[in-house]
């Protein structure tokens, strides 16, 4: 049997590059620091681990049964994009107005790791849609499935590295830098949210046409 029967390098490369571009591991650092940068080191480490695990769970869920889930619930990718965009708008407003920095409840440590870090920031509509597309391209080939699984794991390991060691950035930028990053992250999230909503509308229009 050929090597591609056990592992498809082209599928691995294509999936890894696509997910890295969409999920943007270095680009998640400003948002991560704006949400948990003022927390103790252990809390930041836990939030990084939880966010990556949540993202991995969501991506894996949609890789295994995404098409069936969306079909059963009669949900399309544009609907996912719209929901993700609305959620990110709320988070962006909190960052821009500074309300997130004045709510130090312990439960917040867990919540930000789940939402918005784990999803929709990491495991967002774009990553979910790309994963479903790659599963379709695998077409029952074992080597392609193995490559897809390894690519998903590799991307999430890179995400964890970026978030876990973001403390190095904290030591450089200090408290004032975190405040500035919060504002910048708010603007970036707002822009991402608008783009998701625009893609959602475009998807609904093209689907209707």
Calpha distance 109→121 (Å, rounded): 16
Q: Which residues contact 190 (CB under 8 A, 6 or more apart)?
A: 88, 89, 92, 93, 96
Question: Does residue 120 have a cis bond before it (omega within 30 degrees)?
Answer: yes
Reference 146, options 5, 20, 19; nearest CA is: 5
pTM equals 0.75
> Residue 147 has what pLDDT?
95
pLDDT tens sequence for the chain (209 residues): 555 678 999 999 999 998 988 888 887 888 898 888 888 889 899 999 999 999 999 999 999 998 888 888 888 888 888 887 887 788 788 778 866 544 444 344 446 888 888 888 899 888 998 898 899 888 888 999 999 999 999 999 999 999 998 878 777 777 677 778 778 877 887 888 888 889 889 988 887 54
Q: Are 158 and 22 a contacting pair, CB within 8 Å?
A: no
Reference 31, options 104, 156, 118; nearest CA is: 118
Number of Cβ within a 10 Å radius of residue 45: 18
53, 54, 59, 62: CA torsion to nearest 10: 130
Chain centroid to CA 160: 12
Alpha helix (H) ranges present in 74-166?
77-97, 106-112, 125-138, 142-164
Reference 107, options 167, 47, 163; nearest CA is: 47
Calpha distance 35→91 (Å, rounded): 10
Instruction: Give the model confidence (pLDDT) of 49-86 as tens digits.
Output: 999 999 999 999 999 998 888 888 888 888 888 887 88
3-state SS, 121-144, equals: HHCCHHHHHHHHHHHHHHCCCHHH
Residues 185-197, buried b or exposed e (16+ Cβ, 10 A)?
bbebbbebbeebb
Domain ranges of the chain: 3-208
């Amino acid at each position: 049997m050929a090597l591609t029967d056990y592992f498809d390098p082209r599928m691995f490369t294509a999936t890894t590059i696509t997910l890295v571009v969409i999920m943007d591991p270095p680009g998640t650092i400003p948002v991560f620091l704006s949400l948990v940068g003022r927390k103790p080191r252990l809390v930041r480490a836990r939030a990084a681990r939880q966010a990556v695990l949540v993202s991995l769970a969501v991506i894996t869920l949609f890789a295994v049964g995404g098409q069936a889930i969306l079909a059963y619930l009669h949900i399309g990718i544009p609907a996912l994009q719209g929901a993700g965009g609305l959620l990110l708008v709320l988070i962006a407003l909190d960052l821009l107005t500074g309300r997130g920095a004045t709510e130090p409840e312990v439960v917040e440590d867990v919540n930000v790791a789940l939402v918005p870090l784990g999803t929709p920031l990491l495991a967002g509509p774009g990553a979910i849609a790309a994963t479903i597309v790659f599963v379709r391209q695998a077409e029952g080939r074992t080597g392609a499935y193995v490559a897809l699984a390894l690519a998903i794991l590799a991307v999430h390991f890179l995400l964890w590295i970026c978030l876990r060691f973001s403390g190095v950035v904290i030591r450089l930028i200090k408290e004032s830098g975190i405040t500035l990053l919060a504002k910048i992250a708010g603007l970036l999230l707002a822009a991402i949210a608008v783009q998701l909503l625009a893609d959602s509308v475009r998807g609904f229009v093209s689907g209707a046409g």
